Amino acid sequence: MSDATAQSKNGRLRGRAASVGLTKERIVDVAIAQIDEKGLHAFSMRELARALGVSPNNIYWHVGGTKEDLFGEIAARFTAAVSQSLPRDKPWQDRLRTVFLSYRDAVSDHANVAPLLGAQLKSNGVANLALVEAVLTALHDAGYRGSALRDAFNALIGGLCGFVTMEFAPAPDDKANEWEALFARRVAEIDADRFPFTHAVLPDFMNRIFVLRWENGKHVSYASSFDFLLDLLIEGLSARAPRQSPNP
């Protein structure tokens, strides 16, 4: 394609986008609404374009060349909202707590989006710099530097964001109700002789802990477990922080 042809095509796309009031923000809004309604597995750029009244090329012009670029913009929406509510004048422990509690609250309102937030490199990359900056700054204020800062950051993000991604993991796409009933029956039939302790705690733990469950956090809250993990990580970071006064 010649430069002139490409410029002409881009001009037509801009014109069509402007005529229907298309913006990146509008695209992300409608995409999230469709994922909320139908699930991530059923999301398609063609259906999104139909809902917006444009061609898929108009969408790509705004968000990049692929569906994964759009997913990156969706991820950025969640992390940007979290960082904007950060209490910058609070101790580092309080800032981290606020960041991750806000993150979980935001994802819980749009549980179907959770799988793309941590499962694809493009959707958890540089578009999330607001979250990266907030967490790195808090850890720096705790006294972490160099490789210790890197390891502390990875532990926090992997533990807490991974928890949320797992908490809201979707059920199988096909015949979900049948799968849930089958899995519930299999858990209830765990052999007491082979797994005595697991069997003993089933009345309190069945469908309320990871692995032995058939409903995700959208239906069964894991808030207390998330708080427990957050406490463990912050207390551990406090205990292992380098014994030095952090630089301003």
| 115 and 235 within one domain | yes
Whether 181 maps to a domain, the answer reads yes
CA 90, CA 111: separation in Å to the nearest integer? 29
Instruction: Count helices and strands (H / E) in the chain.
Output: 13, 0
| 93 and 153 within one domain | yes
**Per-residue tokens: 105:** 């609250």
Predicted local distance difference test score (pLDDT) of residue 201: 96
Residue for token pair 């509008």: 26
Domain that holds residue 125: 88-170+229-240
pTM to 2 decimal places: 0.82
| 37 and 139 within one domain | no
| 162 and 95 within one domain | yes
| 106 and 57 within one domain | no
Predicted local distance difference test score (pLDDT) of residue 32: 96
53 to 21, 50, 67, 109, 144: CA distances (angstroms): 10, 5, 18, 26, 50
For the chain, the domain total comes to: 3
Q: For each of the chain's 248 residues, which pLDDT tens digit applies?
A: 555 455 444 555 555 555 457 999 999 999 999 999 988 888 999 999 999 999 999 999 899 888 888 988 888 888 776 766 667 789 999 999 998 998 899 899 999 988 887 655 445 555 567 788 889 999 999 999 999 999 999 999 999 989 999 999 887 776 677 888 899 999 999 999 999 999 999 999 999 999 999 999 999 999 999 999 999 999 999 999 986 544 44
CA 108, CA 165: separation in Å to the nearest integer? 10
Whether 150 maps to a domain, the answer reads yes
